[in-house]
Amino acid sequence: MLLSLLSACASTNFDVEQESSFAIPVSEGTRLGRHTMEQANSLSDRESAFFPLTDGSDALGARLRLIDAADESIDLQYFLMKDDIVGALISAKLLQAADRGVRVRFLLDDIFTSVKDVDLFVLNQHENIEVRLFNPIARRGLKYLNYAWNFTRANRRMHNKSFTVDGSFTIVGGRNLAAEYFSLRDDTEFFDIDVLAAGPIAAEVAANFDYFWNFRKALGIQHLRDKPSPRQMQNAREVIDNALSSQAAATYREAINSDILSQLVNDEISDVIAEAEIISENPQKLKLPVDDDSLRLIKVVGEFMVNAESEILIITPYLIPTDKGMAFFNPSWTRAQGLSWLPTHSHPPITCRYTRLTTNIARVCLRWEPSSTKHGPTLSTWSDCTRITSNEARCMPS
């Protein structure tokens, strides 16, 4: 039995020819392009407009509205996409955009993407849509056995999340393409944040997308397995097409008609004008040994923190500093007037880790932002330091 399982293991062939492609620059020939170019007349060359998307329905509605407004291009990059109402809605709207002549490039990380390969083939077979998977697992044999067999290579994933339309508008943040990220499940709630941005920052996001899209280990879905049968393709296409005439239709209408989006479109609420730059992982690090940290993102983030003059704000689901990390935060706190750190996780093992860091955190005296979630820890201000209490976690002795 063991020998038969091992013989079923397979590796991904990355030695294939793929055509490079690049973002289409912002243009007055698109509706979104005209809007951002008109707005640019009142801004400096480095200023962009930003609007936070804190509500799940608003965040989904913003993506759907941008797809509807696209005239030339849509570039999507996500860590995962699920076979659920959000996956069906996004797929259906992308096909509609492609039917209008919009070029769609869709880059997905492979490991936790649960949408079926046949659904990705349905998108990929459209002449205006191309789907690629980042550092994918071989499809021959058992996928997750292949993952274990190639663990050192396969465990290096792409967590980037961006959604850029016509080189003008972009959405970046913590949400993947699954129902729980948009408040559409009763049993799960993820407290993620996105930012809708327009202006020069969109071009930076687009350029970063190109860097990953044209990387050697971003493979077209057609290079990973044979095309599904015509019957399989037809059935999958019918499910996607039916998304807009089923339960998903009500979700779609609610999302695109949210009060916040309507107010933003009608200029009833203001966005934030600011300078910004994007920092991102470098896909070239996959060419280096796992223990080579020369291209790790933390080095770039660390430089920003070291050079901070007044304030550092951190919102992250996973920031668990070791003793070495705490030693880094101490001088950063000394230089900056305030270091605000808001974890947004809901996993008991991580909550337990925070409770064990209480002594070190208090010694560094981080100034936490008060926050309370249904599943995560409650963080409450205590003088200049922090007290951590957990609503649910049961920590085992270390």
Angle at Cα 362 formed by Cα 375 and Cα 355, nearest 5°? 35
Distance CA 196, CA 61 (A): 11
- The CATH class of the 25-272 domain is alpha beta
Across the range 89-109, mean pLDDT stands at 97
What local confidence, expressed as pLDDT, does residue 384 receive? 36
Residue-wise pLDDT tens digits, 235-249: 999 989 888 887 777
Domain with CATH 3.30.870.10 in the chain: 25-272
User: pLDDT digit string (tens) for 134-184?
Assistant: 988 876 556 666 566 666 666 778 889 999 999 999 999 999 999 999 988
- pLDDT for 247-261, tens place per residue? 777 888 888 888 777
Whether residue 217 contacts residue 283, with contact meaning beta carbons closer than 8 Å, is answered with yes
pLDDT in tens, 13-25: 878 899 999 999 9
What distances in angstroms separate CA 12 from CA 201, 219, 223, one per listed residue? 35, 10, 9
pLDDT at 361: 46
- Residue 151, burial from CB neighbour count under 10 angstroms (0-12, 13-18, 19+): exposed
Residues 277-319 have pLDDT tens digits of 898 888 888 888 888 878 788 788 888 877 877 777 777 766 6
Nearest CA to 262 among 55, 44, 21, 83? 55
Residue with tokens 């809708």: 196
Residue 132, phi-psi category: left (phi > 0), alpha (psi -120 to 50), beta (remainder):
beta
pLDDT digits (tens, 9 = 90+) for 187-234: 776 778 899 999 999 999 999 999 999 999 999 999 988 889 999 999
* Reported pTM: 0.83
Q: Which two tokens stand for residue 50?
A: 């930003």
pLDDT higher than threshold 50 for residue 396: no
